[in-house]
């Protein structure tokens, strides 16, 4: 697949909502270990709201901006503003283009990562969603430079995000609620990194269809 249109981005949001809902208990269990046990619930509520808000006859950028706004307004906790920023920054970077090619999607993912880091001030290694998103963006860009098409780049990003989430297990949290636990945060996967892997998995599956 060489490009994605508004329908594809709406399909991605729906697919993400379905996965989040199916995985909400697992995400909440991860958050119960090192946070306050609401991550699955927060995201389930947020992505349901995003699906309900999806506009008709709008370009990809608008689809993501509207979805991101809905997530911010309906999702409690740290993750609402962070995921809202991901979608709004990505959407903004598309402008009003009707089609998004591999390079444009890569630029959007890079913009989303920058937005998350502007807002949350987390670096790689702090045991947050940045530990899934940053390697995903890097892998996407590397695949693009190697000449992969959009679906191939998205698959590389999803695989890197999943590895990145696994890599948070031994880390000590330095941002978010988990940081209150200090060394007791070690030995558990970061819930936000895990959900980020799921979001990118949904993107790769949608792009590959
Ligand atoms: P809360 O911790 O407020 O209850 P959630 O449980 O929904 O919110 O989300 C927790 C996740 O948010 C963490 O696992 C982490 O990945 C992410 N997170 C928290 N703080 C930050 C931050 N400053 N930067 C990036 N991600 C963060
Ligand atoms: Mg929480
Ligand atoms: Mg909370």
Task: Report the alpha-carbon distance of residue 104 to residue 95 in Å, rounded.
Answer: 10
Nearest Cα residue to atom 14 of ligand 1: 192
Q: What domains lie within the chain, and their CATH numbers?
A: 3-208 (1.25.40.340)
> Does the pLDDT value for residue 165 go beyond 70?
yes
Residue among 24, 31, 85, 192 to mutate when testing ligand 1 (max atoms within 8 A of CB): 192
Q: Over the stretch 78-104, which tens digit does the pLDDT of each residue have?
A: 999 999 999 999 999 999 999 999 999
Q: Over the stretch 178-208, which tens digit does the pLDDT of each residue have?
A: 999 999 999 999 999 999 999 999 999 999 9
What is residue 1's predicted lDDT score, i.e. its pLDDT? 65
pLDDT above 70 coverage of the chain, percent:
100
Please give the distance, rounded to the nearest whole angstrom, from the Cα atom of residue 76 to the centre of ligand 2: 9
Task: Report the alpha-carbon distance of residue 157 to residue 128 in Å, rounded.
Answer: 17
Whether the CB-CB separation of 117 and 166 falls below 8 Å is answered with no
Task: Please report the atom of ligand 1 found closest to the CA of residue 30.
Answer: 14
> Does the pLDDT value for residue 113 go beyond 80?
yes
Q: Over the stretch 16-62, which tens digit does the pLDDT of each residue have?
A: 999 999 999 999 999 999 999 999 999 999 999 999 999 999 999 99
> Does the pLDDT value for residue 2 go beyond 90?
no
What phi-psi label fits residue 58: left (phi over 0), alpha (psi between -120 and 50 degrees) or beta? beta
What is residue 125's predicted lDDT score, i.e. its pLDDT? 98
> Does the pLDDT value for residue 209 go beyond 80?
yes
Q: Residues with beta carbon inside 6 Å of ligand 1?
A: 31, 35-36, 38-39, 42, 77-79, 82, 116, 120-122, 128-130, 175-177, 190-193
Task: Report the alpha-carbon distance of residue 100 to residue 91 in Å, rounded.
Answer: 11
ipTM for the predicted complex comes to 0.99
Q: 41 vs 26, 81, 86, CA distance in Å? A: 10, 15, 19
Neighbours of ion ligand 2 (CB under 5 A): 31, 35-36, 38-39, 77
Task: Confirm whether pTM is higher than 0.80.
Answer: yes
């Amino acid at each position: 697949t060489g490009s994605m249109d508004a329908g594809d981005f709406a399909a991605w949001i729906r697919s993400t909502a379905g996965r989040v809902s199916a995985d909400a208990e697992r995400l909440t269990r991860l958050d119960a270990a090192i946070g306050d046990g609401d991550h699955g619930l927060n995201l389930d509520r947020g992505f349901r709201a995003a699906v309900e808000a999806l506009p008709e006859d709008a370009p990809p950028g608008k689809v993501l901006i509207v979805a991101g706004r809905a997530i911010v307004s309906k999702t409690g906790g740290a993750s609402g503003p962070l995921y809202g920023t991901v979608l709004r920054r990505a959407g903004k970077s598309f402008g009003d283009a009707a089609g998004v090619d591999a390079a444009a999607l890569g630029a959007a993912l890079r913009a989303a990562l920058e937005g998350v880091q502007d807002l949350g001030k987390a670096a790689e290694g702090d045991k947050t969603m940045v530990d899934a998103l940053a390697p995903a963006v890097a892998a996407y860009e590397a695949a693009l430079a190697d000449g992969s098409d959009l679906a191939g780049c998205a698959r590389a990003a999803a695989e890197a995000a999943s590895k990145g989430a696994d890599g948070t297990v031994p880390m000590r949290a330095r941002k978010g609620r988990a940081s209150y636990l200090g060394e007791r945060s070690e030995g558990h996967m970061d819930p936000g990194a895990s959900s980020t892997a799921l979001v990118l998995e949904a993107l790769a599956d949608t792009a590959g269809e």
